[in-house]
Amino acid sequence: MFIEPKRGRSKDSRMGWIEVICGSMFSGKTEELIRRLNRAKIAKQKVEIFKPSIDIRYHEEDIVSHNQNAIRSTPINAATEILLYTGDCDVVGIDEAQFFDEAVVDVANSLAAMGKRVIIAGLDMDSTGKPFGPMPGLMAVAEYVTKVHAICMICGDIAHYSYRKVSNGNQVMLGEADTYEARCRKCYHLPDESAEKL
């Protein structure tokens, strides 16, 4: 007897997927993440949001984008902790994913296999122009990748580099406009005596 596979709205049979929103600083990654999550909430979907506990720039339990559009979130230390908190939710948001360990790739795949929509935002490059942490792996396994851009603070072209104006020797450095500038490819490589990269 042929049994037609379940389709559509049943949570048990639905396959999930992974979306990545990547880009430089000041490119609106978190705003785009919040926009997608808020639309899901309006549709009465259960949404859980996580970020690495290293990102405590503003408020410990809010994702706060630069335009003060806040969404409550859970700060966690390791990516695998996400699996402990996502039991019955439909949509899982992860912000600042570049700070997580590589395990976040397997976590995202597991969540999608459970039928969840996974939306991940993060910096694709560090300030030296190198791929940042687990972001390349996440982009590889995602169904959808959106690269958002900033505006070059030197010339006004489209920018995709996060240029660090002050160096402290670490890849991870939290900061805002006093530490970083969005720059285009041309201006990123400008010689600048007043600023040093790693």
CB of 110 to Zn ion, least distance (A): 40
CA end-to-end span of the chain: 65
Q: Rounded to the nearest whole angstrom, what is the least distance from the CB of residue 197 to Zn ion in the complex?
A: 16
Q: Establish whether 96 is a catalytic residue.
A: yes
Closest CA to 182 of 59, 25, 4: 25
**C-beta of 143 vs 157, nearer to Zn ion:** 157
For Zn ion, the closer CB: 114 or 184: 184
The site for Zn ion (CB under 5 A) is made up of 152, 154-155, 157, 184, 187
> Least distance in Å: CB of 153 to Zn ion?
8
| List of residues 6+ apart from 92 with CB closer than 8 A | 47, 48, 49, 50, 82, 86, 111, 116, 117, 118, 119
Ramachandran category for residue 181: left, alpha or beta (phi over 0 → left; psi -120 to 50 → alpha):
beta
User: Nearer to Zn ion by C-beta: 78 or 155?
Assistant: 155
**Residue 70 vs 154, nearer CB to Zn ion:** 154
Q: Which of 32, 48, 96, 181 is catalytic?
A: 96
Which residues, other chains included, contact 61 with Cβ-Cβ below 8 Å and sequence gap of 6+?
72, 73, 74, 75
- Distant-in-sequence, close-in-space partners of 44: CB < 8 Å, separation ≥ 6: none
CB of 151 to Zn ion, least distance (A): 9
91-94 and 158-159 strand pairing: unpaired
Which amino acids are annotated catalytic? 96
